[in-house]
Amino acid sequence: LSGSAGAGLRRLRGDGLHLRVRLRRPPPAADVVFTLRESLKPNKNYIFYCQSCGDIVVKDRKFLRVLPLPSENWSELVEEWCCHPDPFARSTLHPQHGDCFLGDTFFLLNSGNKSHVLESPKSKENTRVICKRCKTMLGETVSSDTIKYFVTEVIIQPAEGSFSPTPRSQFVQSVVAQCLLELSSAKSTFRFTIKGDNGKTYILIWLLNSDTLLVESLGSSSSHSDFTVFGDLLTPSSAPVGTWNAVKVLYQPCIKCRNKELADAWENDMGVHPLKFPSETCLELLLILGLSTASLPPSLRCMNSFQV
């Protein structure tokens, strides 16, 4: 940081001191997120770990094909574009034994090799796939031979590597931010509904920008244990100031029927992209967003009717 403390320093009533600074940024650190679309390659052995406890979910799986899936509303789009009956109406996109299909927030595997998970009793539509050790929901069975794993619940690493735990809130933030960035870049979509596996809408998110840089003095953060913007991020100890890339979002909670009219309007808007996660993870994400908002100065916490 350069500039004197007196330059650009002012006090806002009820908001504290505001200081305008110029930042000379060090080289960005390597991303901790294991990005599936870039890092999952054919003909390599991978191990799937439960992100919460580190237990092995799938051991030594090699894929012959790693293919992206179309968006979840692709069948509705086909109906809009085709002048004849949907030619894919009876087709199902289920992976064969050597396949891994990548969705927006999940990946599909063939369950030919028995994975190290428990399956809960059959529900109305899907069966929840649960970690044997910690009982966290990892995904759901889509059919008799296909399992869907959510990207927020499983860490995939090369078989020759070892499992390195990542703090839960850091992992959830990173994975969700990665989903928002990829979809906004590929589809010019900036509004998202966060839905649970129970079909309920938990959060409305509007991606405001993706070039935000967060700065924190590491010296001051070690003296207290309060939540900061960075949550439980592991901060480097070699520099007096830590910097992190971040996305800035506007959001509205939808639990307990809050913002129902806006949620219904977004539900019927083709410009809004739905993202599905386990319901427990949706609540975790809502808590993370709320704590992040509370860590901002009061004047920066809201924009129109949305929280920042």
Region 139-143 average pLDDT: 90
Q: Which of 20-34, 71-85, 241-255, 272-286 ranks highest by mean pLDDT?
A: 272-286
Banded pLDDT at 251 (limits 50, 70, 90): very high
For the domain made up of 36-158, give the CATH fold. Answer: 2.170.150
- Domain limits, CATH 2.170.150, in the chain: 36-158
Among 26-30, 80-84, 164-168, 267-271, the range with the most confident prediction by mean pLDDT is 267-271
Contacts for 15 with CB less than 8 Å, ≥ 6 apart = 297, 298, 299
pLDDT in tens, 190-244: 999 999 999 999 999 999 998 888 877 665 544 444 444 444 544 444 456 677 8
Distance, in Å, from the CA atom of 159 to the CA atom of 167, rounded to the nearest integer, reads 21
52: its two tokens: 């919460």
Among 128-137, 150-159, 198-207, 214-223, the minimum mean pLDDT is found in 214-223
Amino acid at 38: E
Q: In the chain, where does DSSP find H-type helix?
A: 36-39, 74-81, 168-187, 218-221, 260-267, 279-294
Tokens 């970690």, residue? 131
Tokens of 112: 């030919």
Q: Which amino acid is at 101?
A: F
161-168: Cβ within 8 A, 24+ apart: 163/47, 163/49, 163/54, 165/54, 166/32, 166/51, 167/231, 167/232, 167/233, 167/234, 168/51, 168/52, 168/232, 168/284
Contacts of 171 (CB under 8 A, 6+ apart): 32, 33, 51, 152, 155
* Position 48, amino acid: F
d(CA 200, CA 197): 8
